[in-house]
Amino acid sequence: DPNSGNSIRRRFLEFFAARDHKVLPSSSLVPDDPTVLLTIAGMLQFKPIFLGQVPRRVPRATTAQKCIRTNDVENVGRTARHHTMFIMCGNFSFGDYFKKDAIAWAWELSTKEFGLPADRLWISVYKDDDEAFALWHDEVGVPVERIKRMGEEDNFWSSGVTGPCGPCSEIYYDFHPERGCLDVDLGDDTRFLEFYNLVFMQYNRTEDGSLEPLKQKNIDTGLGLERLACILQKVPNNYETDLIYPIIEKASELANVSYSVADESTKTKLKIIGDHMRAVVYLISDGVVPSNIGRGYVVRRLIRRTVRTGRLLGIKGDGKGNLEGAFLPVIAQKVIDLSYEIDPDMRGQAPRILEELKREELRFVQTLERGEKLLDQKLKEALSNGSTNGCTPCLSGKDAFLLYDTYGFPVEITVEVAQELGIQVEMNEFDVEMENQRQQSQSAHNTVRLAVGNDADLAETIPETEFLGYETLSARAKVEG
């Protein structure tokens, strides 16, 4: 099938190989770059070349890069287009071709190679980029009504607070005929889907925020594989493409529900499981193990959220009758099976990945079961207090801390469960309790400098002190004693 996820990936790489691009492998999700926690885009492995720090080995390259964006975790299941982990196909020029060819090839790829109807494509350019506007209009022939000038937020791309950056131009697919929505707002994904970004990489943003021109003008592009698959496979969202749906089917089977007839909230939960398991399996495969800091904490949080989501769907034990078992490995196996072309090394890692997941899940389930009774009781109290006083039900920070400190119950789980019932957790009070404990224990916890840029919002929620929540009490005692 020429429109299967794997075929689309291959066709993209072959299109650019035929235009003298060297096909290079995806780099690891763990970047060789201290300014970002995880690989967020295809350009990351080429950053030193863009900056002129190392010489280019080829003038043009093309890749299908595994990416993780923790800033999109909250979007998972809510939008049709965001994943935690996705594949970004890209073509790159290192001081070789620039806007004219990048635009012409992007158009040819979209309309000829993938056969997208020209009148379904809309273009955005950076507000003052008259050159890009003219190329789209005069050379390619896109009518002016379908080229939109947009600002910094959408059309000036940078990989982080500092580093290579530049104005960009993006291609959107218009679903108007299928979905009937008439509003022209490229940011609204009920009608439009951004799928291809062409970055005209020509500046370096320095520490003081100023833009200095790079020695060479470069091209850096990113096309979301899952998004193009969504368009070509004519499914309502990325999750229903052949890249992800089999994982969701496996989860539905374990939960004994059917995705196609499920209600929205069940579908969202199944999407979360499909998304998070994919991210987690690829991360562990690239050497990240669950822990309390940095990348390890990203994995741990995604795992916990998956386990809890599975329990909400009624998955018990391994989902196949063994109540002492773990269900993550069953779903992970599906991710591994699907990874074959994207990441040929994954299979060799399978036993380690499955073992890691099993251990982490069983440990977390123990924690959950210990804390759940007390949490239920506190939440009931909060609800009845709220309705007696006519105010928003609140769980005190002291109670959240008690759950954390005595039962090892992760506070983000407390917050999530509370939110589902419309209960607020007094986080300021929780933070005060944490701080008191930290000062009392006087132990030399290491603080870790966490990521900037795309990972900053996640990093904020990672406690600065080592997270001891679900370790055994004796481990706590050791640190504090």
Nearby residues of 448 by Cβ (< 8 Å), 6 or more positions away: 293, 294, 464
Identity of the residue, 84 or 197, whose beta carbon is nearer to Mg ion in the bound complex: 197
Identity of the residue, 92 or 407, whose beta carbon is nearer to ligand ATP in the bound complex: 92
**Residue 114 touches which member of Mg ion, ligand ATP, none, C-beta under 5-8 Å by kind:** none
Measured in whole angstroms, how far is the alpha carbon of residue 141 from the centre of its chain?
35
Strands 85-93 and 121-126: unpaired
Compute the C-alpha angle 63/64/67, nearest 5°: 120
Number of shown-chain residues binding Mg ion (CB under 5 A): 2
Identity of the residue, 71 or 437, whose beta carbon is nearer to Mg ion in the bound complex: 71
User: Considering only 191-199, 201-209, 420-428, 468-476, which stretch makes contact with Mg ion by CB under 5 A?
Assistant: 191-199
- Min. distance of Cβ 340 from Mg ion in angstroms? 28
Identity of the residue, 276 or 378, whose beta carbon is nearer to ligand ATP in the bound complex: 276
Task: Give the SS3 label for residue 219.
Answer: strand
**Residue 16 touches which member of ligand ATP, Mg ion, none, C-beta under 5-8 Å by kind:** none
User: Considering only 3-11, 145-153, 187-195, 367-375, which stretch makes contact with Mg ion by CB under 5 A?
Assistant: 187-195
- In the bound state, the residue with its beta carbon closest to Mg ion is 197
Tokens for 469?
């929540």
Identity of the residue, 194 or 240, whose beta carbon is nearer to Mg ion in the bound complex: 194
- Min. distance of Cβ 2 from ligand ATP in angstroms? 20
> What is the Cα–Cα distance from 279 to 29, expressed in whole angstroms?
10
Identity of the residue, 83 or 271, whose beta carbon is nearer to ligand ATP in the bound complex: 83
**Residue 82 touches which member of ligand ATP, Mg ion, none, C-beta under 5-8 Å by kind:** ligand ATP
Identity of the residue, 193 or 315, whose beta carbon is nearer to ligand ATP in the bound complex: 193
**Residue 205 touches which member of Mg ion, ligand ATP, none, C-beta under 5-8 Å by kind:** none
**Residue 150 touches which member of Mg ion, ligand ATP, none, C-beta under 5-8 Å by kind:** none
- The CA distances from residue 121 to 16, 118, 145, 167, in Å, are 21, 6, 11, 20
Tokens for 334?
């599906």
- Min. distance of Cβ 79 from ligand ATP in angstroms? 8
Compute the C-alpha angle 39/343/329, nearest 5°: 95
**Residue 83 touches which member of Mg ion, ligand ATP, none, C-beta under 5-8 Å by kind:** ligand ATP
Nearby residues of 31 by Cβ (< 8 Å), 6 or more positions away: 38, 39, 44, 45
User: Considering only 35-43, 189-197, 268-276, 365-373, which stretch makes contact with Mg ion by CB under 5 A?
Assistant: 189-197
Q: In one letter, which amino acid is 422?
A: G
Q: Is 197 in the site for Mg ion (CB under 5 A)?
A: yes
- Min. distance of Cβ 183 from ligand ATP in angstroms? 17
In 18-112, alpha helices (H): 47-50, 99-108
Nearby residues of 335 by Cβ (< 8 Å), 6 or more positions away: 247, 277, 278, 281, 282
Cα-flanking dihedrals φ and ψ of residue 5, to 5°?
-55, -45
**Residue 86 touches which member of ligand ATP, Mg ion, none, C-beta under 5-8 Å by kind:** ligand ATP
- Min. distance of Cβ 413 from ligand ATP in angstroms? 24
Task: Give the SS3 label for residue 109.
Answer: helix
- Min. distance of Cβ 349 from ligand ATP in angstroms? 23
Radius of gyration, alpha carbons of the chain: 24
- Min. distance of Cβ 195 from ligand ATP in angstroms? 5
- Min. distance of Cβ 474 from Mg ion in angstroms? 43
**Residue 121 touches which member of Mg ion, ligand ATP, none, C-beta under 5-8 Å by kind:** none
**Maximum distance among all Cα pairs of the chain, rounded to whole angstroms:** 73
Tokens for 68?
């993780």
Can you name the residues that pair with 437 across neighbouring β-strands? none
Query: Strands, DSSP E only, in 411-471?
Result: 424-425
Q: Is 159 in the site for Mg ion (CB under 5 A)?
A: no
- Min. distance of Cβ 280 from ligand ATP in angstroms? 15
Give which of 350, 64, 370, 30 is closest to 228, Cα–Cα. 64
Q: Is 306 in the site for Mg ion (CB under 5 A)?
A: no
Identity of the residue, 198 or 326, whose beta carbon is nearer to ligand ATP in the bound complex: 198
Nearby residues of 211 by Cβ (< 8 Å), 6 or more positions away: 165, 203, 204, 205
Please give the residue ranges that form the binding site for ligand ATP (CB under 6 A). Answer: 69, 72, 81-83, 86, 88, 194-197, 222-224, 226-227
- Min. distance of Cβ 69 from ligand ATP in angstroms? 5
Identity of the residue, 196 or 327, whose beta carbon is nearer to ligand ATP in the bound complex: 196
Cα-flanking dihedrals φ and ψ of residue 174, to 5°?
-100, 115
Q: Is 414 in the site for Mg ion (CB under 5 A)?
A: no
Tokens for 59?
């003038």
Do the beta carbons of residue 357 and residue 303 sit within 8 Å? Answer: yes
- In the bound state, the residue with its beta carbon closest to ligand ATP is 224
Q: Which residues bind Mg ion (CB under 5 A)?
A: 194, 197
